[in-house]
A and B are shown apart, each in its own frame.
Chain A
Amino acid sequence: MSHGTNAAVMEAHWGGGAAPFGASWQKTMMWIFIVTDGLLFSGLLCAYGFLRMATEAPWPDRTKVFSIGFIAFMTFVLISSSATMGSAVTASKLGDRKKTTLFLLATIVGAFTFLGCQAYEWTEIIHHGARLTTNPWGAPQFGASFFILTGFHGSHVVSGATILIITLIRHLMGKTPAQGVEMAGLYWHFVDLVWVFIFTLFYLV
Chain B
Amino acid sequence: MSETAHGGNPYKIYFWTWVGLLFITVAMLLAEKFHMPRWFLLAFLLVFMALKAVVIGANFMHLKYEKTNLQVVVGVGLVVTTLILFFFITPEAAHVREKSTIPMTAPAAAPAHH
Taking Cβ atoms with an 8 Å cutoff, the residues of A that contact B are 16, 20-23, 28, 31, 34-35, 38-39, 42-43, 45-47, 49-51, 53-56, 68, 72, 75-76, 79-80, 82-87, 89-91, 93-94, 185-186, 189-190, 192-193, 196-197, 200-201, 204-205
Contacts and interface: CB of A to CB of B under 8 A. Distances in A.
Contact of B14 (A56, A86, A186): A86
Contact of B70 (A23, A80, A190, A204): A23
Contacts of B42: 205
Contact of A50 (B3, B77, B89): B89
Interface in B63-84: 66-67, 69-70, 73-74, 77-78, 81-82
Contacts of A93: 3-4
Contact of B97 (A54, A75, A87, A193): A54
Interface residues of B, number: 49
Which A-B residue pairs are the 9 nearest by beta carbons?
A53-B93, A22-B67, A83-B18, A54-B93, A200-B49, A42-B82, A54-B96, A86-B14, A21-B70
A79 B22 contact: yes
Contacts of A85: 60
B34 interface: no
A75 B23 CA distance: 12
Most buried by B among A42, A56, A197: A42
A136 to B, nearest CB: 21
A201 B90 CA distance: 15
A86 B60 CA distance: 6
A50 B82 CA distance: 13
Contact of A20 (B4, B32, B49, B69): B69
Given A50-B92, A53-B90, 13 more contacts: A21-B66, A35-B77, A50-B93, A54-B100, A56-B97, A56-B101, A68-B29, A75-B25, A83-B15, A86-B14, A93-B3, A94-B4, A193-B53
A204 B28 contact: yes
A192 B60 contact: yes
